[in-house]
Amino acid sequence: MRKLYIAIPLIFLFQPSRAQDIDTIVSHAVDKFKTSGASMGLSVGVVDSGKISFYHFGSIQKGVVTPPSNETIYEIGSVTKTFTSLLLAQAVLDHRAKLTNDVRTFLRGKYPNLQYKGAPIGLMQLANLTSGLPNNLPEKIPAFKSADEIGQLFEIRSIHDAYTKHQFLKDLHAVILTQRPGLAIAHSNTAAQLLGFTLENIYDSSYQKLLAKFITIPFKLDNTYVVVPTEKRVHYAHGYNDKGISMPDIPQDAAAAGILKSSLPDMVTYVKLQLTEQDDRIKLVHQPTWGEPGDVAVGLNWMVKTNFDGQRKIWASGGTFGQSCYLCFYPERKFGIVILSNESDGGTEDRLSNLAQTVYNERFFTNDQRLAEGFGFSSPINRLLDSLNKRGFENAISVMTEVKKESPTFKLYENEVNLWGYHYYFKGQKEKALEIFKLNVNLYPLSANTYDSLAETYEELGDKSNAIKNYEKEIELSPGNKDIEDHLKKLKVR
């Protein structure tokens, strides 16, 4: 199973209702968050029709009760990329660059490798996750001296701290693109770092000075830093993993991809400015440049989708070795949320996202609305669900076909259907999940992920033959997935 962020078509399925005060809502959401996994310090900020609320929980220091506060400074990781995109928007509005410009126009030296079959990397592709560049440079890390995973992370941090801009640009010459830029989204710190260096060339100024000139000073983000001042270090939240083990700080070479640190009030101010969309640069970074809001769309380092209730939802998240950040806002609702934590592991950012979704749902929908079977899913899903409850989930494909004949514009998106199937899977209703995953394979027969979900469910239900059949189809469509190949080998000999 591969979890994907989904986007849902424009509908107005539920009438919003303020059911509780925001203090109660946040308290409840945080209690739920704490039961879902480990947590250290946690800071939450909410913007609701201009009203700002701050909340702090836990401790930013292991073994000592040191609650976070409005002065606490956290690493914001990849949320830094949204600042970099804002600088790109500044360059576009200053007529110093166009989003369609080949990045090599602004680089010193020749980079014939930064193209795929004649298609170059544009500035837009650096900012919308479709550059095709590797996630990190250098791509090869020397053999570790430490045998344990935590020690290796500290070694990685040391390697990156010593990795210079000169070395980055030298290694960039050796990068080989394997697909056309603009084709598919994939996280890339390399792309954001390169965009930062490109902006430095465009303005003949350092990234840090550009941030101060165009963002932190005019926006009055007084506690947002590339390097935290000595006098502010006392407020710096040290990072931990889910086991409470001390983790390394973000390396200095993260640069435009993830170097920034900030406080909760600054991040809430940042979200409040995003909500109003009065700044032309902010409008530009919110415009989808890849995909479609009905499924998965990307602006300039902001994810954009149409929420299940028809509202535009925009968000970004960031994770470092030991800290996590999540920003989410709904411009038409005038509602936004910021969550900062000095704990990070593979699932923390998803848990922060779930926390934010809980706050949103409880703020705008009553308990009865939230308990409805189709809550959180789009109008097309709910329409199909109504028929399936009457005619049986085993008829999902035929019912969907009939609905499409009646309404030619009816559309189900792969990611949402996949999420719908897992909604039943994790509730223990695996027979229903199976039928939904069969439907998704019927709708998207060339997607490896639809077969993965179907195979997993067959396997869980004890149908080994069909599980093998669908895992084999997944591998056929997406060769080279060693985890699935190994799993299939083990399944065949059971």
Q: What is the CATH number of the domain that holds 267?
A: 3.40.710.10
- The pair phi, psi for residue 218, each rounded to 5°, is -65, -30
The answer on pLDDT for 10 being more than 80 is no
For residue 31, tell me if it sits in a domain: no
For residue 312, tell me if it sits in a domain: yes
> 3-class SS at 205?
coil
Residues 334 and 476 in one domain: no
Residues 300 and 339 in one domain: yes
| 337-375 pLDDT per residue, tens | 999 999 998 889 999 999 999 999 999 999 999 999 999
Longest dimension (CA), the chain: 67
Percent above pLDDT 70 for the chain? 96
Residue range 252-272: mean pLDDT, rounded? 97
Domain containing residue 403: 379-492
Domain end, chosen from 336, 364, 392, is at 364
Tell me the whole-structure pTM to 2 decimals: 0.89
Q: Show contacts of 116-123: CB within 8 Å, 24+ apart.
A: 116/177, 116/178, 116/179, 116/180, 116/181, 117/180, 119/180, 119/181, 119/182, 120/181, 121/177, 121/181, 122/181, 122/182, 123/88, 123/97, 123/98, 123/99, 123/195, 123/198
Domain end, chosen from 364, 387, 408, is at 364
CA end-to-end span of the chain = 21
The answer on pLDDT for 18 being more than 60 is no
Residue range 228-238: mean pLDDT, rounded? 95
Least confident interval from 144-153, 424-433, 462-471: 144-153
Residues 466 and 355 in one domain: no
The answer on pLDDT for 12 being more than 50 is no
Residues 124 and 233 in one domain: yes
CA angle, corner 285, sides to 284 and 289, nearest 5?
A: 90
The answer on pLDDT for 311 being more than 80 is yes
For residue 57, tell me if it sits in a domain: no
Least confident interval from 12-26, 153-167, 268-282, 293-307: 12-26
Domain end, chosen from 340, 364, 388, is at 364
Question: Does 479 sit behind a cis peptide bond, omega within 30 degrees of 0 on the bond before it?
Answer: no
Residues 317 and 403 in one domain: no
Q: What is the pLDDT of residue 39?
A: 80
For residue 227, tell me if it sits in a domain: yes
Burial class (CB in 10 A: 0-12, 13-18, 19+), 407: exposed
Q: How many domains does the chain have?
A: 2
Residues 142 and 253 in one domain: yes
Q: What is the pLDDT of residue 403?
A: 93
Q: What is the pLDDT of residue 3?
A: 38
For residue 58, tell me if it sits in a domain: no
For residue 51, tell me if it sits in a domain: no
Q: What is the pLDDT of residue 94?
A: 98
pLDDT band at 8 (very low <50, low <70, confident <90, very high): very low
Residues 384 and 274 in one domain: no
Residues 346 and 468 in one domain: no
pLDDT band at 63 (very low <50, low <70, confident <90, very high): confident
Place of tokens 């925001």: 22
For residue 358, tell me if it sits in a domain: yes
Percent above pLDDT 90 for the chain? 87
The answer on pLDDT for 105 being more than 80 is yes
Residues 338 and 421 in one domain: no
